[in-house]
Amino acid sequence: MRLKFLAALAALSANASAATPPLPVPPTPPRLLVVISIDQFSADLWDEYRPQFTRGLARLGMGTVFRNGYQSHAATETCPGHSTLLTGDRPSTTGIISNMWLDQSLSRSDKFVYCAEDPLAPGTSSTSYKVSDKHLRVPTLGDRMKAAWPGSRNVAISGKDRAAVMMSGHRADQRWYWNGNQFVTDLSGHTTPQVVARANAAVAAMLAAPGEGLQPPPFCSQKAQPVTLEGSGKVVGAGTLARAAGDATGFRASPQFDASTLALAAGMVQEMNLGRGSSPDLLAVSLSATDYVGHTYGPGGQEMCLQLLELDREIGDFLSFLDRSGVDYAVALSADHGGLDLPERLRARGVTDAARVDPALSATAMGKRIGQKLSLAGPVLIGDFSGDVYIDQSVRGADRTRVLTTALADYRAHTQVAAAYSREQIAKIAPPSGRPTGWTLLQKARASFDPERSGDIVVMLKPHIMPIVETSRYAATHGSPWDYDRRVPIAFWRKGLSPSAREDAVETADIMPTLAAMLGLPLGAPAIDGRCLDNVLGNVCPAR
């Protein structure tokens, strides 16, 4: 696989210049900022695998590394997580409270809204949508760079559309993401770089061939313990990420997917001459395979081990490509959220409270029981097992109050529920401040709260309760307010600067102002939630 990636890069960089100009001495601002998000890359995985990394992730680990980074909010999903990375804001400010919320005022039959869609586009639904940035309420770093420096380019390449949209924002020059079949864009009026067609052809050829299984090194093979999943009887844990020819789902959950995303990103750097313009450029890359591997096999088995070691090599190849390009670049690395391992495997490893969620906790089942109790027809509650739960708009007046009171009591009485809050309870507290390690569950919920989009009730399950019952497709997930989902690594790297290991707890919302300071970009309105981190790559933060 590594050879294939190198071959793809070599093809992309066939006409690259061999000359490497000397690097300026920092703290001259870098000419290219590369921001890499590894989807579902928890700080737990970072801590565990860091000694195993030898290439790209090892190099980034030699920068300024915060092993206690926090996606500080409660709803630790991909869309909100990516929305914090380059805006400097928490989801309560970005407006991206979850991957999907409910808007009962919509005229279309599907009242759910996908975070990166235009729900007013005719003929769409939350699952068959038109990609859009309209729900993101704030500017991104790339947007701010373009406002300050019109020559600056804002580019995003991703395995997922929502990651590309949330990291680039409202003024992207190029934004390409995988649609299940090929890399596509939602932008119009921009010239399509030639590298897109070449990358798509290379990926199509890769996908059409079978994906060979990877050879596990001893560190991975010692994790190869088969686990039988409740619900489906499926066995995972000892896989090698092999897939059949043409299996797009298997491709997505393999290192080939990230290799393809990185190859396209490298091609963009080359063709657009990123880092060589009149102003600094931004390249955001979101690598999605780790998330698909985590969902399919859980993050604790041989499969994740193979994925992460391969990803280390792939990022190494990508950074080597940037080195050869001669561009003065800086890298920031983080993740949109962490993840929880399979309850079956956790229990075998001594985590005795790990369990799959009680099916009776689904909003549909809860709503049905409450409807019967209160003699109300209809669905009553809409939502999932946890997170935002909405009272159906047909329930009004005194009935709505009765449903709310009963639902809060029923949720709170359940042994798997840690907390249930009404929207009124969440709305009335101040946004949290101080270290994200000390926040209450209610404060975490406040950081995920938007008055127009949040549910009437927010439900939080106890630690190690996996909100997946049916395991034939996905076995594990994230989304909770617990640290296995909230804590992520945040690393800043630039050539020639010495390593610094930081233990202080910081937020992913701190990444944007830190990078802005590195670029010498003043942050005017709107004010942000995050703060510039001092002593990062020779950074000098503006006076607060």
So which residues are the catalytic ones?
Answer: 78
CA distance 527 to 541: 15
CA distance 425 to 96: 20
Which letter does DSSP use for residue 35 in this model?
Answer: E
Q: Least separation, in Å, of the C-beta of 80 and Zn ion?
A: 9
Nearer to Zn ion, 308 or 381 (CB): 308
Q: Which stretch binds Zn ion (CB under 5 A): 37-45, 87-95, 385-393, 399-407?
A: 37-45
Nearer to Zn ion, 272 or 488 (CB): 488
Query: What's the number of CA atoms in the CB half-sphere (13 Å) around residue 509?
Result: 25
Q: Which stretch binds Zn ion (CB under 5 A): 99-107, 269-277, 330-338, 413-421?
A: 330-338
Torsion angle (degrees, nearest 10) of CA 268, 273, 274, 280: -160
Q: Hey, what amino acid is at 306? A: L
Site string for Zn ion, 291-310 (x = CB under 5 A): x-------------------
Which residues in 457-516 contact Zn ion (CB under 5 A)? none
Nearer to Zn ion, 258 or 336 (CB): 336
Q: Least separation, in Å, of the C-beta of 67 and Zn ion?
A: 19
Q: Least separation, in Å, of the C-beta of 339 and Zn ion?
A: 9
CA distance 454 to 107: 19
Which of 38, 40, 43 lies closest to 487 in space, CA to CA? 43
Q: Least separation, in Å, of the C-beta of 261 and Zn ion?
A: 14
Nearer to Zn ion, 32 or 475 (CB): 475
CA angle (372 as vertex; 369, 373 as ends), nearest 5 = 85
Among 12, 35, 39, 114, binds Zn ion (CB under 5 A): 39
Q: Considering the rule CB under 5 A, would residue 161 count as an interface residue with Zn ion?
A: no
Nearer to Zn ion, 334 or 416 (CB): 334
Is the alpha carbon torsion for 533, 534, 536, 539 positive or negative? positive
Q: Where are the beta strands (DSSP E) in 159-245?
A: 174-178, 183-184, 227-228, 235-236
Among 44, 173, 336, 485, binds Zn ion (CB under 5 A): 336
The DSSP secondary structure of 114-139, one letter per residue, reads ETTB-TTSTT--SSS--B--TT--S-
Nearer to Zn ion, 275 or 299 (CB): 299
Is the alpha carbon torsion for 407, 410, 413, 418 positive or negative? negative
User: Could you tell me how many residues of this chain bind Zn ion (CB under 5 A)?
Assistant: 4
Q: Least separation, in Å, of the C-beta of 291 and Zn ion?
A: 5
Site string for Zn ion, 62-101 (x = CB under 5 A): ----------------x-----------------------
Q: Considering the rule CB under 5 A, would residue 341 count as an interface residue with Zn ion?
A: no
Tokens 């975070």 correspond to: 115
Q: Least separation, in Å, of the C-beta of 334 and Zn ion?
A: 12
**318 Cβ neighbours under 8 A, 6+ residues apart:** 9, 56, 262, 265, 266
CA distance 139 to 111: 26
Q: Identify whether 21 is preceded by a cis peptide bond (ω within 30 of 0).
A: no
Q: Hey, what amino acid is at 515? A: L
Nearer to Zn ion, 69 or 275 (CB): 69
The token duo for 458 is 């927010």
Which of 90, 80, 70, 89 lies closest to 435 in space, CA to CA? 70
Q: What are phi and psi of 180, to 5 degrees?
A: 100, -15
Q: Which stretch binds Zn ion (CB under 5 A): 10-18, 107-115, 288-296, 406-414?
A: 288-296
Tokens 């607060």 correspond to: 544
Q: Least separation, in Å, of the C-beta of 115 and Zn ion?
A: 12
Q: Which stretch binds Zn ion (CB under 5 A): 31-39, 128-136, 170-178, 358-366?
A: 31-39
Q: Which stretch binds Zn ion (CB under 5 A): 33-41, 64-72, 172-180, 414-422?
A: 33-41
Radius of gyration of the chain (CA): 23
Q: Which stretch binds Zn ion (CB under 5 A): 219-227, 272-280, 285-293, 500-508?
A: 285-293
CA distance 308 to 56: 11
Q: Least separation, in Å, of the C-beta of 478 and Zn ion?
A: 7
**167 Cβ neighbours under 8 A, 6+ residues apart:** 35, 37, 82, 85, 86, 140, 142, 156, 158, 284, 286
Residue nearest to Zn ion (CB): 78
Q: Which stretch binds Zn ion (CB under 5 A): 36-44, 262-270, 298-306, 321-329?
A: 36-44
Q: Considering the rule CB under 5 A, would residue 186 count as an interface residue with Zn ion?
A: no
The token duo for 445 is 């919920």
Nearer to Zn ion, 186 or 291 (CB): 291
Q: Least separation, in Å, of the C-beta of 39 and Zn ion?
A: 4
Nearer to Zn ion, 39 or 89 (CB): 39
Interface residues with Zn ion (CB under 5 A) are 39, 78, 291, 336
